[in-house]
Amino acid sequence: MNKPIIGITTFCKKENKFNKSYNKVSYNYISSVIKAGGVPVLIPLLEDKAEVKTYIEMIDGLILSGGDDICPNRYGEHPIAQVTKFDSKRDEWEIELFRGAYRRELPILGICRGMQLMNIALGGSLYQDIIEEYQDGVCHLSCSTDVCELYHSLQIKRNTKLFNILKREEIKVNSYHHQAVKDLGRELIVTAKSEEGIVEGIESENREFVIGVQWHPEDLTLRYSSFLELFKKLVITAEKEKR
């Protein structure tokens, strides 16, 4: 039996030394999919939106990877001073990818920026900067170079898909974000929150696997095998849809 193909979004980075642009993503996404039993396929950032259909028909599941901020114009706001790095082309490309995968009812895992993008694509909004805009804002942007460092705790709601996968009401996670989900998008529910109420997990009410997490489980799988369960469930669901 052919293994399910899991598409992973990438970002474009220009290397000044050779004046070349590269599509990149952390290898930890790739290794997590492989360990979970899937075949990772990197999806390049393209300008031709017609190619979205090509990739959606090719893959059996989608991972929306982390990265820079999403332009606040996407949810009807102007950027505040703390929002300085965003890629509008990536925003547009990935929103179309998400919507294509959502229409086809593919399993989708959104990680950090990817979770925020899911929310925006379904009509939600973000706190542009937690410290600046959230009433009890504390820093969620770890300065640690150890991607496996557990930075803060969060509570997972029982009777959610996320709880059924991780099997715990409280976990500790890494944290590399300064933005957060504000208004929730259509058909989404909150599955996890930090101690001060920041949304750390969302999922679709009526899809088998459309899950977003604000932390980086692909990094934590290097040290904590329990986080691999998210990728295993993604691959299992993709395999079931493939039949």
Residue of 94, 200, 218, 239 with catalytic role: 218
Q: How far is CA 130 from the centre of its chain?
A: 18
Residue of 152, 200, 216, 239 with catalytic role: 216
Q: Say if residues 186 and 84 touch (Cβ distance below 8 Å).
A: no
Low-confidence ranges of the chain (pLDDT < 50): 140, 142
Domain spans in the chain, listed from the N-terminal domain onward: 5-242
- 5-242 sits in which CATH class? alpha beta
148 as an active site residue: the answer is no
Amino acid present at 146? D
Cα–Cα dist 22/239, whole Å: 31
Q: Say if residues 213 and 65 touch (Cβ distance below 8 Å).
A: no
Predicted confidence (pLDDT) per residue in 68-81, tens digit:
889 888 988 776 76
Predicted confidence (pLDDT) per residue in 90-128, tens digit:
999 999 999 999 999 999 999 999 999 999 999 999 988
Question: pTM of the entire structure?
Answer: 0.92
112 as an active site residue: the answer is yes
Cα–Cα dist 113/119, whole Å: 10
Residue of 112, 140, 177, 239 with catalytic role: 112
218 as an active site residue: the answer is yes
Q: Say if residues 82 and 130 touch (Cβ distance below 8 Å).
A: no
